[in-house]
């Protein structure tokens, strides 16, 4: 059987699949060429991340597809229901990238709290001539310890984010429409463990109490955080979105930053990918990454291994 890893797969995933007798084509085919490539090469399974879309039209035109694999959590780039109705296996790797995304949340938070995103722009340009001015400019950083982190969505990634927050001494509150409570276990290097029981609250309470808010939800049809929700937040709040573009109204965010309601924000996802709005790219109060939440070597190794094991179980 042939597998097209259109958005890539780690070498350990390739090795496992090839050892099981699968042929893996780890190449990138343009979206508008997928149909012909899949049919001409007899592709049985397609593996994607967030870049490639697998829509009904493609599946109708490629009847040989037996499996679609998503390296990651969200599957909004796949017409899952239609695929499953046609008897096509649709799999993902919900646990593999959780810690990678959670660490990126705090990469943004630590950087924003201490102006690293700005200092790293200014120091190469003026560090030798305006050192003392820059020192004064970035001298009012914020410590995260003792602050409250609000989580919008308390699934696997939200809970991994909570672990880091608790580990550095933050208070954690969370809201989730499906989860009422969760036990967060901190595992330490010497074998010790500490459990924290967290009951979820209303999103209004999160907006009211949180010093920083991190979003961890699937895609939504309308904005989850719009102007109304931002106005419910604390003055000087920080917002991090590593979930999906479109859950946060970017125009309302920029306006709130300009008004002083929002102190800063970190964005890994955007409403318009791969061409984010210029007003976001040029805003000095934003810390930006190009949708790299799961892009660590370790996470990609876990994703490759998990995809391979599921494919072998389903198709061999």
pLDDT in tens, 170-199: 999 999 999 999 999 999 999 999 999 999
Q: How far apart are CA 269 and CA 291, in angstroms?
A: 5
Residue 50 pLDDT > 90: no
Active site residues: 244, 273, 291
Give me the DSSP letters along 231-258.
HTSPTTEEEEE-S-TTSB-HHHHHHHHH
- Structural class in CATH, domain 2-94+297-315: alpha beta
**Residue 274, preceding peptide bond in cis (omega within 30° of 0):** yes
Instruction: Tell me the pTM.
Output: 0.93
Residue 316 pLDDT > 90: no
Q: How far apart are CA 151 and CA 5, in angstroms?
A: 33
SS3 labels along 270-291: CCCCCCCCHHHHCCCCEEECCC
- CB 50 within 8 Å of CB 242: no
Domain boundaries, the chain: 2-94+297-315, 98-288
Tokens 């343009």 label which residue? 30
pLDDT in tens, 251-264: 999 999 999 999 99
**Closest among 46, 86, 52, 85 to 67, alpha carbons compared:** 46
Task: Tell me which H or E stretch contains 80.
Answer: helix 80-85
List own/partner pairs for 17-23 with CB under 8 A and 24 or more apart: 17/308, 17/311, 17/312, 20/308, 20/312, 20/316, 21/316, 22/311, 22/312, 22/315, 22/316
pLDDT in tens, 120-132: 999 999 999 999 9
The fold of 98-288 is Rossmann fold (3.40.50)
**Which residues fall within 8 angstroms of residue 87, CB to CB, at 6 or more apart?**
none
**Which residues fall within 8 angstroms of residue 297, CB to CB, at 6 or more apart?**
none
Asked if domains 2-94+297-315 and 98-288 share a fold, the reply is: yes
pLDDT in tens, 205-230: 999 999 999 999 999 999 999 999 99
How large is the C-alpha radius of gyration of the chain?
21
Q: How far apart are CA 299 and CA 72, in angstroms?
A: 9
DSSP helix/strand/coil, 197 = strand
Residue 74 pLDDT > 90: no
Q: Kindly state the average pLDDT of the residues 95-108.
A: 96
Q: How far apart are CA 40 and CA 33, in angstroms?
A: 11
């Amino acid at each position: 059987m042939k597998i097209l890893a259109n958005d890539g797969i780690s070498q350990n995933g390739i090795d496992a699949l090839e050892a099981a007798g699968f042929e893996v084509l780890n190449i990138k085919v343009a979206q508008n060429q997928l149909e012909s490539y899949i049919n001409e090469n007899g592709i049985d399974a397609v593996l994607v991340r967030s870049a490639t879309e697998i829509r009904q039209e493609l599946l109708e035109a490629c009847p040989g597809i037996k499996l679609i694999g998503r390296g990651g959590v969200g599957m909004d780039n796949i017409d899952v229901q239609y695929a499953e109705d046609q008897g096509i296996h649709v799999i993902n790797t919900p646990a593999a990238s959780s810690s990678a995304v959670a660490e990126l949340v705090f990469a943004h938070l630590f950087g924003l709290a201490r102006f690293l995103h700005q200092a790293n722009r200014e120091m190469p340009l003026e560090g030798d001539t305006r050192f003392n001015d820059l020192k004064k400019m970035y001298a009012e950083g914020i410590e995260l310890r003792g602050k409250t982190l609000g989580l919008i969505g308390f699934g696997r990634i939200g809970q991994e984010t909570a672990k880091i927050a608790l580990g550095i001494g933050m208070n954690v509150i969370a809201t989730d429409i499906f989860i009422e409570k969760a036990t967060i276990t901190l595992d330490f290097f010497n074998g010790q463990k500490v459990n924290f029981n967290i009951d979820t609250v209303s999103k209004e309470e999160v907006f009211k109490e949180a010093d920083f808010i991190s979003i961890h939800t699937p895609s939504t049809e309308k904005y989850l955080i719009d102007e109304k929700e931002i106005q419910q937040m604390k003055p000087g709040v920080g917002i991090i979105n590593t979930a999906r573009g479109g859950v946060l109204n970017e125009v309302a965010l920029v306006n709130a930053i300009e008004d002083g309601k929002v102190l800063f924000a970190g964005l890994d996802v955007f409403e318009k990918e791969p061409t984010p709005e210029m007003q976001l790219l040029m805003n000095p109060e934003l810390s930006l990454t190009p949708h790299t939440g799961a892009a660590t070597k370790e996470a990609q190794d876990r994703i490759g291994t998990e995809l391979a094991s599921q494919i072998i179980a389903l198709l061999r």
